[in-house]
Amino acid sequence: MTIERIETLAKEPRAVYLALEALNGLRLRGWLEECCCGANWNSHALLAVEDGESIGLIIYQTVDWKNKLDLEIGYVRPDRRRAGVYRALWDELIGVAREKGIPVISGATHVDNQEMQAVMSRLDRQLKWLTYEYRLTP
């Protein structure tokens, strides 16, 4: 497996396709409309590729004014999960942050996404914020 660094998500069709697959998964779970995330097509991406197939990605932005990387989407194809793909992507993201001298990587997941919360815990990511929302009725 190799990890490719993509400067602009929108310019790499393989990454765009996988991002759309990830977003569709969120939509099918009913999380896309609620979440504050999405794919910013001008973001950077890390793309995991094995035997010519795109199997996972992380989409992130550099937030200069906060001196952090903001992880927007992390996704591994369901048939490739629990095989170290996300760990490889995460390790590469840590490398990007170190190269840029950025001390923090942040990101969020849906409150019901227990699987991703478990992954974050295994990667020693710490829960720092809870976000509350109030929906106005028309």
Please say whether the beta carbons of 91 and 105 come within 8 A: no
Q: 37-95: per-residue pLDDT in tens?
A: 556 788 999 999 999 999 999 999 998 888 999 888 899 999 999 999 999 999 999 99
pLDDT at 137 over 90: no
Sheet containing 2-6: give its strands across. 2-6, 44-50, 53-63, 68-76, 104-107
Q: What is the pLDDT of residue 36?
A: 47
Looking up tokens 């199997």, which residue turns up? Answer: 55
Domains plus CATH for the chain? 2-122 (3.40.630.30)
Q: What is the pLDDT of residue 126?
A: 77
The two three-digit tokens of residue 26, written as one number: 């969120």
Q: What is the pLDDT of residue 48?
A: 98
Report the alpha-carbon distance of residue 22 to residue 113 in Å, rounded: 13
